[in-house]
A = this chain, B = another copy of it.
């Protein structure tokens, strides 16, 4: 019997699916290391490592309506990629499905946020886990650079926004964050509050009906995720990120896992990225039961 290699347990066709996975092998604006173009396929390979059953939620992923749509055909120009991707993701959200993106670089989050925002009923917000503010207006002459994604979310979508794990940025970004009352949490703050308390605090702060949840994997400490475009020491633990995902997934209309560069380790980071996708789906599905 032959099977198409892809995300394990993504057994549904598009029509019946509630969760639509897709990869975007695009890393053209990556500032330090390129290579996140290989992450979607690496996460698919890594998924064969896992049992379909999630005991915490008593959910079997093989029984959920998950579809793997494959990879987005990405060109070289970030503006074109973002606008084309926007259309495809809007298709998914308009069909009432939850888009789950496997990056690729963080710039790709913007069109997914937009697609989810457009379709959102009620108040909409965005939560980003990231070591970096990504609040620049443009970087290296490129507006939609991966280092600017949060700024464009704030300006083009919503300022109902929280970012977690932040510990790096030029002074201008820290000032911008403070001047604009952006809600952010450093890793130390996450640890001292605890993930569960933090999740409650964020929910209260955002006070919204649905969110988009974006995970730039560099939010994590490199001990857990060494293979990244811009790894930043002193980050979140994998348990903290897991618990934040578990807490926020139920209200999420879209999710992504970004910035993994699989050629810089022996699989560790892609395995963790794939696991987070599975936790997200299980947590979301469990909340629907």
Contacts and interface: CB of A to CB of B under 8 A. Distances in A.
A264 interface: yes
A238 B234 contact: yes
Contact of A170 (B51, B224, B238): B51
B35 A34 contact: yes
A105 to B, nearest CB: 11
A145 interface: yes
Contact of A37 (B34, B171, B224, B267): B34
Chain A interface residue number, banded: 35 or more
Contact of A3 (B38, B71, B174): B71
Contact of A76 (B23, B142, B232): B142
A76 B29 contact: yes
A238 B233 contact: yes
A231 B271 contact: yes
Interface string A135-160: 00001111001000000000000000
Interface in A76-93: 76-77, 80, 84, 88
A51 B27 CA distance: 20
Nearest to A74: B140
A199 interface: no
A51 to B, nearest CB: 5
A271 B223 CA distance: 12
A122 interface: no
Contact of A238 (B4, B69, B221): B221
A244 to B, nearest CB: 13
Contacts of A34: 27, 34-35, 37
Interface of A: 1-6, 22-23, 27-29, 32-35, 37-38, 40-41, 44-45, 48-53, 55, 58, 60, 69-73, 75-77, 80, 84, 88, 132, 139-142, 145, 167-171, 174, 221-224, 226-227, 230-234, 238-239, 242, 263-268, 271-272, 275
3 closest Cβ pairs, A-B complex: A264-B266, A34-B34, A4-B70
14 contacts: A2-B70, A4-B70, A5-B23, A38-B45, A50-B168, A50-B232, A52-B170, A55-B169, A75-B141, A221-B224, A224-B233, A233-B238, A234-B238, A234-B242
